[in-house]
Chains A and B, each alone.
Chain A
Amino acid sequence: MTSHAATVESVLRRPEPGLGVYDKKVGMWVFLCSEVMFFAGLIGSYVILRFGASTSWPMPGEVLNVPITAANTFLLICSSVTMVKAFAAIEQGNQRGLRGFLLATALIGALFVTVQIFEYRELIHHGFTPASGLYGASFFTMTGFHGFHVTVGVICLLWATQKAFRGGYTQEDHEGVEVIGLYWHFVDLVWIILFTIVYLI
Chain B
Amino acid sequence: MSEHHEHTESGSARSVEASAAAAATGGGAIAAEHKAPRYMAVFGGLAILTLIEVGVAFLGLPRAATILALLGMAVWKALLVALYYMHLRFEPGLLRLVAAAPLVPAAILILLVMLEY
Identify the A interface with B (CB < 8 A). Answer: 13, 15-16, 18-22, 25-26, 29-30, 32-34, 36-37, 40-41, 43-44, 47-48, 51-52, 60-61, 66-67, 70, 73-74, 77-78, 80-81, 83-85, 88, 91-93, 170-175, 178, 181-182, 185-186, 188-189, 192-193, 195-197, 199-201
- Please state if A16 and B81 are interface contacts (CB–CB under 8 Å): no
Bound together, the chains give a CA A44 to CA B102 distance in angstroms of: 14
Bound together, the chains give a CA A173 to CA B56 distance in angstroms of: 45
Interface string of B24-47 (1 = CB under 8 A from A): 000011001001100110010011
- Please state if A193 and B74 are interface contacts (CB–CB under 8 Å): yes
- Please state if A88 and B5 are interface contacts (CB–CB under 8 Å): no
Given contacts A36-B102, A47-B113, A185-B85, contact A74 B12 (CB under 8 A): no
Residues of chain B within 8 A (CB-CB) of A199 are 57
- Please state if A33 and B54 are interface contacts (CB–CB under 8 Å): no
Shortest A171–chain B CB gap in Å is 5
Bound together, the chains give a CA A33 to CA B68 distance in angstroms of: 25
Residues of chain B within 8 A (CB-CB) of A13 are 6, 9
Residues of chain B within 8 A (CB-CB) of A173 are 11
Residues of chain B within 8 A (CB-CB) of A40 are 102, 105-106, 109-110
Given contacts A19-B92, A40-B110, contact A172 B102 (CB under 8 A): no
Shortest A189–chain B CB gap in Å is 5
Shortest A177–chain B CB gap in Å is 11
In the complex, residue of chain B having the shortest beta-carbon distance to the beta carbon of A61: B58
The verdict on B65 contacting chain A, using a C-beta distance below 8 Å, is: no
Residues of chain A within 8 A (CB-CB) of B50 are 70, 73-74, 77, 195
Given contacts A20-B92, A44-B110, A185-B86, 13 further A-B contacts (CB under 8 A): A13-B6, A16-B5, A37-B105, A44-B113, A70-B50, A84-B39, A91-B16, A172-B12, A195-B74, A196-B71, A200-B54, A200-B70, A201-B71
Please report which residues of chain B, range 67-91, place their CB below 8 angstroms from some CB of chain A when the two chains form the complex.
67, 70-71, 73-74, 77-78, 81-82, 84-86, 91
Bound together, the chains give a CA A134 to CA B110 distance in angstroms of: 18
Shortest B68–chain A CB gap in Å is 10
- Please state if B117 and A52 are interface contacts (CB–CB under 8 Å): yes
Bound together, the chains give a CA A186 to CA B78 distance in angstroms of: 9
- Please state if A33 and B81 are interface contacts (CB–CB under 8 Å): no
The verdict on B61 contacting chain A, using a C-beta distance below 8 Å, is: no
Residues of chain B within 8 A (CB-CB) of A197 are 74
22 examples of A-B residue contacts, CB within 8 angstroms:
A15-B9, A16-B8, A18-B94, A19-B92, A19-B94, A20-B4, A20-B92, A21-B91, A29-B98, A37-B102, A47-B110, A60-B58, A67-B54, A74-B47, A80-B81, A80-B85, A84-B84, A91-B13, A193-B78, A200-B56, A200-B70, A201-B71
